[in-house]
Amino acid sequence: MGSFTKKSAPVLGIDIGSAAVKLVELKRSGDRYQVESYAVEPLPRDAVVEKNISDLEAVSRAVRSAVKRSQTKLKEAATAVPASAAISRTLVLDSSLGEEEMEGQVNLQAEQYIPYPLEEVNLDFEVRGQAAGGDAGEVEVLLVASRNENVEARVDALSDAGLTAKVMDVDSYALENAFELIRPSLGGESNQTVAMIDIGATVTTLTVFEQGQIVYTRDQVFGGRQLTEEIARRFDMDQEEAERYQKQGGLPDSYESEVLQPFREAMAQQVNRSMQFFFGASHHSSVDQLVIAGGCAGIDGASDVIADATSTETVVANPFSQMSVSSRIKPQQLAGDAPALMTACGLALRSFD
C-alpha cells in the first residue's frame, strides 16, 4: 500500500477516534458534493487511548458495524494516523530530478529527520510546488513518515472488517482538506487566521490555519468523557447509563446548572489555555475566527460560552452545509453529528484527488 499518497478510486473516509469510529461516503457531481452515507459507531472504553489503537478486535468490530449501519457498498477506505504519530518535514529539491532520483534524494534526507531505521517506518512524499523564496529550479517536497506499527494497526482494523486501506493519511492533513469546505462560509478575507478547536472524548486539539494551511497544532488531554463521568458520579449511574441519558435526555433538572454549565465553562477555559499557548509560540495575539469541532461542539450553548471567554467570533463546524444529502440520511441527524465528522469528511475527499 502506498501510504500517504493521493489516490483516485472512490474511498470511504474512516476516522478512528477515542470514543467512536466515524465513516463518511461522498459523491461528486461537477463541483457539488453529496453525502451518500455516514455512520458513527461508539467504541468501548480504552479501545483507543490517546489516538492509539489498544484493542484491535473492538475497533474492527466497530468499523464493521459502521459499514453495515451506513449501507455503503464501497470496500476501499482512507484512514489516518494521528499527527502525534507522524513526522512531517518540508524538503527543498532540484525540480529537474526524475521520479526515481527524487525518491532516492528523499530517502537520503529522510535519514536525517527520522529517528528510526527506515525499514521500521512507512514513508511517502509529495511535491508541493515551487520553493518559496528559493531558486526557480527548486521545489518543495513534503515528506511524511510514521512507524510501521501505527500504520499496520489501522490497516489490520479495516482489513478485519472487510475493507481495504487504500489511502493512509495523517489526521491533521485530512482536517486541512475538510477545512477548505467550510472556509467560504466563514466570510472575511482569504488570508484570515482561523483557529479550530476539536474537543473529542479524551483529547482536545487546537489547529490554526493561515490562508487555509496549518501553521500550528497542539493536543491536550481534555474531553467529553469528563462530562460523562461527572454525570455518572453526580446521579449515581454507570458509564453506559450516563452516556445514554446524555444523548437521549431525561436527566434531573439540576443537570443543567450543576453539571452542564460547569462543563461548558471548563471547555472555554481549555480553549483559552490552548489559544494562549499559540499566542506565546507565534507573532499573533488574536485570531480572526474560532471554529469548534468534535463531539463536544454540539453541546447546547457551548459556542456562546467559548465566544465570551475568548472574545472571538465562534462558529460550529459543519463541512456538509453546502452539500446535498442522500434520501436515506436524516439531515437533522447529520447536522448534529457534523462537527465530529470533520476528519472523516476530509478523508472521504481523497476520493477526488
Check residue 4 and give its pLDDT: 53
Count CA atoms within 13 Å of residue 262 on its CB side: 11
pLDDT at 309 over 70: yes
Phi, psi of 132 (to 5 degrees): -70, 125
Count CA atoms within 13 Å of residue 231 on its CB side: 25
Q: Using CA atoms, how far apart are residues 160 and 163, in angstroms rounded to an integer?
A: 7
Span 177-198, mean pLDDT? Answer: 88
pLDDT in tens, 196-250: 999 999 999 999 999 888 999 999 999 999 999 999 999 999 988 998 898 888 9
pLDDT in tens, 240-299: 899 889 888 899 999 999 999 999 999 999 999 999 999 999 999 999 999 999 999 999
Which of 10, 15, 24 is CA-nearest to residue 172?
15
pLDDT at 347 over 70: yes
Q: Using CA atoms, how far apart are residues 180 and 184, in angstroms rounded to an integer?
A: 8
Check residue 2 and give its pLDDT: 47
pLDDT at 84 over 80: yes
The domain locations on the chain are: 86-148
Span 37-64, mean pLDDT? Answer: 95
To the question of pTM greater than 0.85 for the whole model, the response is: yes
Check residue 1 and give its pLDDT: 45
Q: Using CA atoms, how far apart are residues 230 and 31, in angstroms rounded to an integer?
A: 45
Neighbouring CB atoms inside 10 A of 273's CB total 14
Check residue 3 and give its pLDDT: 54
86-148 is a CATH 3.30.70.1890 domain = no
pLDDT at 7 over 70: no
Q: Using CA atoms, how far apart are residues 246 and 231, in angstroms rounded to an integer?
A: 8
Looking at per-residue pLDDT, the higher value among 123 and 187 belongs to 123
pLDDT band at 176 (very low <50, low <70, confident <90, very high): very high
Find the helix packing angle between 302-310 and 261-281, rounded to 10°: 40
Check residue 29 and give its pLDDT: 84
User: How far is residue 72 from each of residues 22, 29, 39, 66, 344, measured CA to CA in Å?
Assistant: 13, 18, 10, 9, 15
Span 107-122, mean pLDDT? Answer: 92
